[in-house]
Amino acid sequence: MFWTIFQSLCEEKGIRPHAVLKELNISSGSASHWKTGTIPNGEILRKISDYFDISIEQLMYGDEISIRPSVKKREQMFKTMYATPQRWASLRRGDVVEVETILNIMKYVNCSLHFLNSISVTEYAPEKEYDEKILSNNEILFDILDIMDACADSDAFRDLQIQLSRIVLYHLGKKGYNEQKLSDTKHFENAKLHFLFSGNPNRDKTKNYGLNFSDLATIRHLTGLSYQYMFTGIEKTTG
């Protein structure tokens, strides 16, 4: 039990067990005894518990390890907690999108108006003709990102986010990022992904939404693909 917990703590800290022993001036041969179930003496337990910033009881029994992070992780956690209210305060309601904006978006993402308005249509199919000159109008892309960043306050707005998300998933698929590969990254809600790909709603209605801006930013980080590519399938702007 002790050895298993010790190994897990080392993995969380990103350091090899023998490196910890060396740093704490503990005999490297101790590890072989611990692997067979031997528990270190009190002095060694104290050194190791101090090193990982946990109690000796946690080190031996592991009953609270998952809920007591290291000092560094606690600091990161508190910073996130302090920042969260500011993020909530900055969120905007998404209710009505002007018709002119919808028409511009329709041209930019190369889809039909029927597709944008119909979440029952789960498979995106690009229109045959596309004028790439529209890509030079960055304001349309900014409008799309604004829509994806807002909290849907109407069914129509939610449907628009869903269909725009399906366009993103279509273009990601062209790069080999299918549902399974995106799910395997552990960065996305699997139930939401399945809903977007299949059209089958979840019992938990909070999972029946499109990708949000944080999802898009994560995709950009993971894949290196631009926001323009996500919505158009074209990698660079033409003049």
CB 111 within 8 A of CB 170: no
Output phi, psi for 183, to 5 deg: -65, -40
Per-residue pLDDT at 89: 56
Is the pTM value of this prediction over 0.85? no
In sequence order, what DSSP letters do the residues of 139-199 get, joined into one string?
Answer: HHHHHHHHHHHSEE-SHHHHHHHHHHHHHHHHHHHHTT--HHHHHHTT-S-HHHHHHHHH-
**Any idea what DSSP says for residue 133?**
G
Per-residue pLDDT of the chain in tens (239 residues, 90 and over written 9): 678 888 889 998 899 999 999 999 998 888 888 888 788 888 888 889 888 888 777 777 765 444 445 555 555 655 555 555 555 555 677 778 898 999 999 999 999 989 998 899 999 999 888 888 999 999 999 999 999 998 888 889 999 999 999 999 999 999 999 999 999 988 888 999 999 999 999 988 888 999 999 999 999 999 999 999 999 999 875 54
Q: Put residue 126 in one of left, alpha, beta given phi > 0 → left and psi -120 to 50 → alpha.
A: beta
Helix (H) or strand (E) segment spanning residue 117: helix 113-117
